[in-house]
Every structure is written in C-alpha cells, then in structure tokens.
Structure 1
C-alpha cells in the first residue's frame, strides 16, 4: 500500500469520504500485479479529481467533464496500460455527461469511479445533477426543481458492460467491487456514495448506520437470492401482474418467487429495474454491489484490429511525410 502513496499533502476537508476511497484504492492496487508506471489515473474537476496527486502512478488532472474523453484516447492508443477515471457527480453528469455516456456505449477499456455526494463540494455547496428534488442549497434557496440523475440507471441505459454501486465507508464491500471491476474487460462504472461532511453531511446515513442499513441496504450477489433485512426476512420479487420489482416480507408461500440475481444476464432489463428500486429521496431499499457484468467487444481491441487490417491491405501510413509533402489541392470557389 505504501508504494502507492505520494509525498503530496492530501487536501480534502477533515472527515471527507474521499479519504476512505483513497485508502481502499491504495490498499487494493498491489493486488493487480501491475507496475506503477503502467497505471494511470485521469480526473476532471472537483474535490474527487485531486485523486491523481495522491496515487504514486502516472496521472492527469484534466479539465471539467473531459476525463472520459482523455482517458479514451490514452486507453485506445496504449492498450498495455491500466487506465482509471476518477470523477464526481457534478463533473461526470453535468458538463461531462456527453463524454461519459459515449465512453460507456463504446466499451473502452476504462475503469470509471464516480464519487457521488449529491452536492457540488469544491464550489461550496450548490445542488448537483444527483441532488434530490426540492434540495435547498445556496443555488436553490427555494428548493431544486431538477429531477436527479440515477447514475446506475444512466449507465445501464447507455449499454455499459459493468455497472456497480458501493459506499465509501464499507471498505470490504468497496474493495470487492473494485476487485471485480479491475478484471472486467471494457468500460466499468462504479458509483461510490461518498459523504461530504461540510455541505451535505449525512446524505447516506441510512445506508451507513449498522442497524438501519439492515432494512435499507440490499446487497446484490450474482447467483444468490435478493434477500435482506434482519435474518433475511425481506426479499425482492417480480409482480406477476405488472412485471415490476417490489419488496416483500418473505413467507413460505412466496419464497420461491424471490429474485435470484443474475449480473450476467444478456438483457439489462432486470438490472435496470433493480436500479429503480430505491426511494430517490430516502434511499430506502438501495441495492449495492454489481448490477451488471457482461462480455461485449472492447473498443480498443476492435480499433487495433481494424488498424492492423488497414495496414496489411494498404501499407503503413507516414504522417510526417504527409505533412512535409509537396502535394497541394485546389478547391474551386
């Protein structure tokens, strides 16, 4: 772990959830068995985007919302690298929304960690694209009128091949999700609920309090029934009339209807339905874990194969010769 720490002073507010995520990532990185010079962290703008300074790897603190675009170019041109993107709910889902969804649909070999604190922290507490409806902030003193994004739903809708959610304070769960994400070929989107104790403190307290979390958090595990609550008394079933998912108290009469989680299902329909299960305001019945993990062709690999085919058929081009050449064109006016 110490090999991945830098000599830079960590500049986050005391108590920020980013510290927990940083420690988990630094502790997990040695598992990859990848040399530090072959790992790159690319970030945009925001509190979380200071991350590359604190990882003793290569990195780039780029510009607002463009981290997926920059990382795409890097991953596509250097398939030997392990490329990670660190972004926030504001950076990724406002100005960066277009770049994010296209990275997801292309299935570039990127691991995107989206820190979601449901607020703009760096710019001092304005509402963000994930803030709940009616949120009172400095920029919305009468309450936000915007319906919030659900990052997991957005990623599944954009055809992401790996989508997961975890919580900053649950190091064991966070590390396990990172472990699965790291070994997935293609684009990964991991939403991390992260507490901003200055501008949105306690936003995820329901999911962190040990007693309350038993009834509020649904832990998804591939191949296992979706059950939760004290002594697993609650479960998720599909309503036979509407086809929608709902939470029920498990009884001998409905136990066989409890959904078995299939993260590798070809259709994203059930994963999407699970992403809509939580109450958007209270976060009651929030699933965490890997929603979807499916194999799809990886953009970088397809691009390399296409370039190799072009070179075989037409020969390797010489950009320098082209730029320095004497050929000219006349465009008729």
Structure 2
C-alpha cells in the first residue's frame, strides 16, 4: 500500500473540501476559514495528521470544510473529545473550534480543564456575543443591555471575558484577533500552532444576522485606528497616527499606580521612551491588556501572553512509561487469572 505523502507545495485549496460552505452571506466565519486554510498550507501541514474537533453552533461546522480528519461532537464537549484524541495519538495536530455559547456556557467546564491541563491543542473560540445557530439568544459574552429573543428588555447579566477566563484557568498562550484582520490573523494562528501546549485564541467574529456590527467601533469599515492596538513582543505599545487619523498614542503605567493609561506622544513631554514595551511572557501585563475596553482604551489584538510550561501529553506519556517499567511483561490472559480466582464446579457449571 502506498503511504500518503504531503505535496512539496500546498495551497489553501488543498485544505478545502467539496462541501458547500453553509454560513450566512457576510458571516465572519468565512474569513476565519480562509485564514486557517492559508496557515496550514504555509506551514506545509500534514493533512493525515491534522484533526479539527468542534461542538455545536455555527462555528462548529468547521470540520466539514477542512480536508483533514475531524469530529463534529456534542454541545460543549469538543475539549473532552480533543483531549482523548491527543492522548491516544500524541503525534496529531489537534485544533478545537468552538463559540462563545458552546465553549463558555455548557462547555465552560471542559474548556477550563483542557486549559489547566495544558493539553497540546489549539483552541479557536469564535466570539460574536450571541447564539447564532439557535436564532439569536443572548450568550455568556453578550454585553449588558443586549436585546435578543431571550432578553427582549436587554440583558442584565455581566458578560464573561474569554481572555480572562483562559488566563484564570492557567493558559500559557492567549491571543486575540478578529475576522476583519485578514493580514494579521494568520500570524496569530501560526504562533498558536507553533506553541507547545494549549493555545487559546479568541476571534471576534461578526454575526451579520443577529448581532451585526457589535464590534464595529474597532473592527468595522469605519473603525478609527485609535480604537485598537496590535501588540507585538518587544515592540512599544503604540497605536493611532497617520494621515487624517488621531495622533500617535501609547500606553504606559500611570505614575504612582498599577493602572494603565493612554498618553499622546508630544504632549507634556511624553516620548516613546515613556511607553511600555510589550512583553508576552508577563502575565500581569497580559491581564491588563486583555482588560482594556473603550472608550478610554484601545482593544488589544495579537499574542497577549505566551510562556512555556510542562505539557500534559508529555506528563501522561512519562507516567505510562514508568508504569510499564514496574509491570512484568505478561499476557492479558495471565493478568486476568492472577490474584484471587476460583473455578465454579458442579451441575450446570
């Protein structure tokens, strides 16, 4: 039998299936799908060793559209299935695709544990702050005041922040991108795949039907550069600037506090030397960047935090190896018959 081989040069089309992509016209999921296919092609990923696992929701159609192995599982359980896949086949490249409802509501428990265990997987959480597939109910990330079919007078529940949830669970790689950032998203996805351990990526995604333009202020066509910042390790936290745009601004620690503040270069003697330099290995800075929200702060995109730690897969393999050393090499039949066994004799035995 001929073994499958990976072509010397791959294109995004090599990772596309013959299935009709069935998302609403204008849905942000299309851009995410194209970005993932591009990244796998650029990295010359082995399709025979790549697996996409999803739960339930619009985002969870993803495995059907990837010409790799895949599982479309049950609501919220994609992390549990993905953990089993990775433990049974550590050499596989396992991706988890989930949504704010699937991952943070019924699947919140499973999401927390795959992160804290640091299973070597990539988690892509599509966040549109609404339940799309079930026709527009408020989700765990919906903002206070969101009017939906389940909250007609406006939601009164405080929303969850996916980044804070991941970091609270002990994530060692946390990033944020958006369906609009076609040029920037592949870099984030590549960084996630190259990270050894559990990589968590929140992707802000527009639901054109039930929550259109919810992120329009900083990702829409009219988004002002001063409303967002793309962070890069080792680079100063600068944003804005350019023709017909706000002046260049930066982020620093407010003197005498542990809080961040936005400053304008050139005002009150402020220069680039006063601005913080992004350090992706600093969890405190990552938490502060993740918490930035408008109108006083820009929304941060990029790799907010990355710091390696022991990987669950390796720890499990080490335990199994130790157990084998302590266990005699015997047959299954011998193992079944060892210890307290007896023979039933007599009529009818």
Q: Same fold (TM over 0.5)?
A: yes
Deviation of 1:57 after TM superposition, in Å, equals: 0.4
1:253-292 aligned within 5 A: 253-255=269-271, 256-265=273-282, 268-279=283-294, 285-292=298-305
Residues 187-245 of structure 1, C-alpha deviations (whole Å, 9 max, x = no match): 01110011100000111112224553301011100000001012461111111222111
8 Å CA contact retained: 2:228, 2:300: yes
Where relative contact order (Cα < 8 A, 6+ residues apart) is larger, the structure is 1
**Structure 2 partner of 1:186:** 197
- Provide the C-alpha distance between the structure 2 equivalents of 1:317 and 1:287, rounded to a whole number of angstroms: 57
1:312 correspondence with 2:325: yes
Deviation of 1:33 after TM superposition, in Å, equals: 2.4
- Provide the C-alpha distance between the structure 2 equivalents of 1:292 and 1:25, rounded to a whole number of angstroms: 21
Aligned residues: 325
Question: Which of residues 108, 114, 126 is equivalent to 1:115?
Answer: 126
Segment of structure 1 superposing worse, 13-22 or 255-264 = 255-264
1:90 correspondence with 2:122: no
Question: Which of residues 209, 212, 223 is equivalent to 1:212?
Answer: 223
Q: What stretches of structure 1 move > 3 A for 4+ residues in a row?
A: 315-329
Q: TM-score, normalised by structure 1?
A: 0.92
Cα distance change on mapping 1:212 and 1:304 into 2, 3 Å: same
The root-mean-square deviation of aligned C-alpha atoms, in Å, is 2.0
- Provide the C-alpha distance between the structure 1 equivalents of 2:219 and 2:58, rounded to a whole number of angstroms: 22
8 Å CA contact retained: 1:246, 1:277: no
Rg: which structure is higher? 2
**Structure 1 partner of 2:171:** 160
- Structure 1 unaligned spans of 5+: none
- Provide the C-alpha distance between the structure 1 equivalents of 2:296 and 2:141, rounded to a whole number of angstroms: 12
Question: Which of residues 14, 25, 30 is equivalent to 1:14?
Answer: 25
Deviation of 1:317 after TM superposition, in Å, equals: 7.6
Cα distance change on mapping 1:65 and 1:31 into 2, 3 Å: same
Q: TM-score, normalised by structure 2?
A: 0.88
Cα distance change on mapping 1:314 and 1:214 into 2, 3 Å: same
**Structure 2 partner of 1:245:** 260
